[in-house]
Amino acid sequence: MIRKIPLLVWFLAPTFILVGIGVWLLTKHQTIGQSQVLSEAVSISNPVEGTVDYAIVSRDHITQGAAGSGYNSNPPSSGPHWPMAAKNGVYDKELPDEQLIHNLEHGHIWISYKPNTADEVKSKLREIVEKDSWKVVLGPRDKNDSQIALVAWGRVLAMDEPDYVKVEEFIKTYRNRGPENTPE
**184 residues of the chain, pLDDT tens digit each:** 566 767 666 677 777 787 767 666 665 444 334 444 457 888 899 999 999 999 999 999 999 999 999 999 999 999 999 999 999 999 999 999 999 999 999 999 999 999 999 999 999 999 999 999 999 999 999 999 999 999 999 999 999 999 999 999 999 999 999 999 888 7
How far CA 50 is from CA of 19, 157, 159, in Å, comes to: 46, 6, 9
Task: Please state, as a whole number, how many other Cβ atoms lie within 10 Å of the Cβ of residue 177.
Answer: 20
- DSSP letter string over the chain? -PPPPPHHHHHHHHHHHHHHHHHHHHHHHHHHHHHHHHHSPPP-SSPPTT-EE-------B--TTPPP----SSS--SSSB-S-PPPSEE-SSPPPHHHHHHHHHTT-EEEEE-TTS-HHHHHHHHHHHHHS-TTEEEEE-TT-SSSEEEEETTEEEEESS--HHHHHHHHHHHTT-SSS----
Is the C-alpha dihedral spanning 172, 143, 101, 92 positive or negative?
negative
**Could you tell me if 88 and 135 are in contact, meaning their C-beta atoms sit under 8 angstroms apart?**
yes
Q: In this predicted structure, what is the pLDDT of residue 59?
A: 94
pTM, to two decimals: 0.80
Q: In this predicted structure, what is the pLDDT of residue 36?
A: 44
Q: In this predicted structure, what is the pLDDT of residue 8?
A: 65
